[in-house]
Amino acid sequence: MESQQLAEILKLHRWFAEGRLDGERANLVLCDLARAELEGTNLQGAVLSGADLSSARLSSADLSFADLFAADLTGADLSQAQLVRADLRSASLVGCRLYRANLSGVDLRPASRVDAASKLRPREYSIDGRAREIQASLSRSRLRRASLVEANLERAAMVSADLTGCDLTRAHLVHADLSNVNLSNANLSSVNLSGARLIGANLRGAMLLDANLDDCDLSGAVLPAPLDDVPADMRDVLQRHNRWINTNGEKGARADLPGVDLRGRDLHGVNLSGANLRAARLGQARLSDSILLFTDLCGADLSGAVLDRADLDGAIADDVTMVKASLRDAKLRPVDLLRLRGGGNGGEPWPVNLQGADLTDADFAGADLTAARFDGACLVGCNLSGCILDGELRQRASQSGARL
């Protein structure tokens, strides 16, 4: 859209918001506003459904009651913006900055094609290519890795929204509806979730340090350990590691904990992907539902530890001790490194390495051990019933005294 035309629309909308008779509500349905400079602009009640606002600068803008249905706000700066009761159904806010934004009562629920048909009509009432594309791919709102630090989301409707890796530090989510929301790897430190609905929500790998969960409905939710029994310095390490994961190493710091003593600690659901835990003492630790992708566990002692449903894809665990450990339904699969780096399929697979491991009486029932390396491992009494194994390993396991 031409800058002069946009300026005229915004002027008339400002007058409309002020109650002037010569004002006119902004109708910017499906408009291309990518990288637009809109800081502090009054867009209260504006119609922006389907608009492309990617990388737009909207800090301190007033978008209260605005129609942002299916809008593309990828990478936009909405810090300190007002989004009170805005319609953000099926909007994309991936990588969006929402520092201290006010999203009280915002609507982030999934949308339907019926909703799209009524909203994605340009002023000439013809459906263009972008509208058809949106209608064909409607999904839940996407806020992956968005910054929502100190954001006000009180009573927000966020059913099924994708908040993977979001930073919600000190955010206000009192009485918000977060049913079936994906909050995996999110930073929820000091967040206020009192009275919120988290039915069926996925918080695997999320940080919940000092979070307020009073009166929350957590029915069916997957929650990580609160880390209350972990030393304060360790909590700081895990927080920085969470940030390191969510920023692809640009911020925070990898957890470098060789030889750390975490025996008997409750770390269920914690994300330690890529961490250095060589020779760590993790006997009797609870690591069920934890995420340990590419984690270095070489020489670590996990005797009696519980790793049920843990994700150990690509883990380095040669010479590890897992005597009587439980890894029921755990994943120990190879990882396609090319695909992991965004280069598509067909790369060199990186298998889980359990060479020389002591797996005496370990319970792997139902685990996926596709292509795992067990050369020199002790499998005496190891329970491999129901596991996914290749033929060679199955034969060798049987000969080594494992239960199949």
DSSP letters for 210-264: T-B-TT-B-TT-B-----TTS-HHHHHHHHHHHHHHHTTTSSS---B-TT-B-TT
Residue 286: predicted pLDDT: 96
Question: d(Cα 196, Cα 342) in Å, to the nearest integer?
Answer: 36
Question: b/e string for 185-214 if b means 16 or more Cβ within 10 A?
Answer: bbbbbbbbbbbbbbbbbbbbbbbbbebbbe
Greater model confidence, 129 or 218: 218
What is the average pLDDT across 389-393? 75
Find the mean pLDDT for residues 246-256.
Answer: 92
Residue 227 has pLDDT above 90, yes or no: no
The answer, yes or no, to whether residue 199 has pLDDT greater than 60, is yes
Q: Which residue has the tokens 């490194």?
A: 337
**pTM, to two decimals:** 0.79
Residue 241: per-residue pLDDT: 95
- pLDDT tens string 104-130: 989 888 777 667 777 776 554 455 677
Residues 6+ apart with CB under 8 A from 39: 57, 58, 59, 60, 61
* CB distance 362 to 325 below 8 Å: yes
pLDDT per residue over 130-162, tens digit each? Answer: 777 777 666 667 888 888 889 989 998 888 888
The answer, yes or no, to whether residue 390 has pLDDT greater than 60, is yes
Q: Which residue has the higher pLDDT, 206 or 127?
A: 206
Higher-confidence residue of 338 and 253: namely 253
| Alpha-helix runs per DSSP H in 23-109 | none
Does 234 or 296 have the greater pLDDT score? 296
CA-wise closest residue to 192 among 156, 146, 143: 156
Q: Looking at the predicted structure, is the pLDDT value of residue 77 above 60?
A: yes
Q: What is residue 224's three-state secondary structure? A: coil
Cα–Cα distance for residue pair 251/74, rounded to 1 Å: 20
Going by C-alpha positions, the residue among 252, 242, 247, 260 that lies closest to residue 206 is 242
Instruction: Decide if pLDDT at 339 tops 90.
Output: no
Give CA–CA dist 382/360, Å, rounded: 6
Nearest by Cα to 289 from 205, 198, 351: 205
Q: What is the pLDDT of residue 229?
A: 75
Q: CA 166 to CA 162: how far, in whole Å? A: 9
Helix (H), strand (E), coil (C) string for 46-75: CECCCCECCCCECCCCECCCCECCCCECCC
Question: In this structure, are residues 87 and 69 in contact, taking their beta carbons and an 8 Å threshold?
Answer: yes
What's the confidence (pLDDT) of residue 141?
75
Give kind and range of the element (H or E) at residue 349.
strand 349-350
- Token output for 190: 């000091």
Give the model's pLDDT for residue 400.
77
- pLDDT confidence of residue 115: 72
Distances, alpha carbon 109 to alpha carbons 45, 140, 141, in Å: 19, 7, 7
Q: What is the mean pLDDT of the chain?
A: 89
Predicted pLDDT of residue 346? 56
Percent of the chain with pLDDT over 90: 66
Cα(268)–Cα(152) distance, integer angstroms:
29
pLDDT of 125:
44
Average pLDDT over residues 293-304: 97
- List the structure tokens of 214: 């009073």
Most confident region among 95-99, 134-138, 330-334 by mean pLDDT? 330-334
